[in-house]
Amino acid sequence: MLDLICNSMKLIVLGSGTCVPSLNRNAPGYYLEAGDTGILVDCGSGTLLQLERAGRSYRDIDAVFITHTHPDHFADLMPLIHALRATPGFKRTKTLFIVGPALFIEYYDRAVATVLGRPREFSIQVTGISGRMDFGPFSVRTTKTVHSEDSIAYRFEHGGRAMVFTGDADYDEGIVDLSRGADLLIADCSFPDANKARGHLSARECGLVAREAGVKRLLLSHIYPADTPDIDRVRESREEFGGEVVLAGDLMEISV
């Protein structure tokens, strides 16, 4: 049992929504934890407050992995760095790692570093990712997604388990390949089938990816407002996928 706990990954959904302001769904953001390493996968506006509500602290974040340069996926990055520098009575010493597609790194240098400068107390290491890297206990793989010029998806592996974040993505073979055999697939389920939008998975397509990739569990997230109840997306996904389908909610916790 102890070995299972040590090898597990814990996910906290900090934001299951989109760029559309909502009292029920924060902008996209996820906290992923394994061992003594805690990272953010995207950090839309409100992520820092959601971390506090989840019983975690921005002070302890080791890295932020960004999927692409749309602001609902990284708007709290600058507030995070500012808070790490300016919180009274707190002095950070460990490096903050920021990982993302090459175009995001270019954006960071132009628009973030020029405003905040470089902290004196701790370093910030900004790294572009293409393909594979190791970070702490995680082995990380990526693939380009069909959404924007720089959008990517992430696969985190640890202790023989795998968790995939599609980020914003439409259906293609790349996202299926990245998701193969994953224990948990966190999918962009922006709209029900009737409102399918280019560059995003519909609910049925989320199920299709899950089935073709042979994942164990499917978590539907990045939920835009629609005329139908959100729970209907679960039904539409189950038309393609016979495994467990869960509708994401803010502050939901899942262990893998």
pLDDT in tens, 28-79: 999 999 999 999 999 999 999 999 999 999 999 999 999 999 999 999 999 9
Pairing of strands 10-15, 29-34: antiparallel
Q: How far apart are CA 252 and CA 20, in angstroms?
A: 20
Q: How confident is the model at residue 171 (pLDDT cuts 50, 70, 90)?
A: very high
In single-letter form, the type of residue at position 120 comes to: R
Q: How far apart are CA 71 and CA 225, in angstroms?
A: 18
The percent of residues in the chain predicted with pLDDT above 70, rounded, is: 98
Instruction: Compute the average pLDDT of residues 132-150.
Output: 97
The pLDDT of residue 1 is above 70: no
Instruction: Compute the average pLDDT of residues 199-216.
Output: 98
The percent of residues in the chain predicted with pLDDT above 90, rounded, is: 93
State the pLDDT at residue 2. 41
Strands (E), the chain: 10-15, 29-34, 37-43, 63-65, 96-100, 124-128, 132-135, 138-144, 152-158, 161-165, 184-188, 217-221, 244-247, 253-255
The domain made up of 2-255 is a member of CATH 3.60.15.10: yes
State the pLDDT at residue 118. 85
The pLDDT of residue 133 is above 70: yes
- The residue assigned the tokens 């209907």 is 232
Instruction: Compute the average pLDDT of residues 176-203.
Output: 97
> What is the tens place of the pLDDT at every residue in 223-252?
999 999 999 999 999 999 999 999 999 999
Domain coordinates in residue numbering, the chain: 2-255
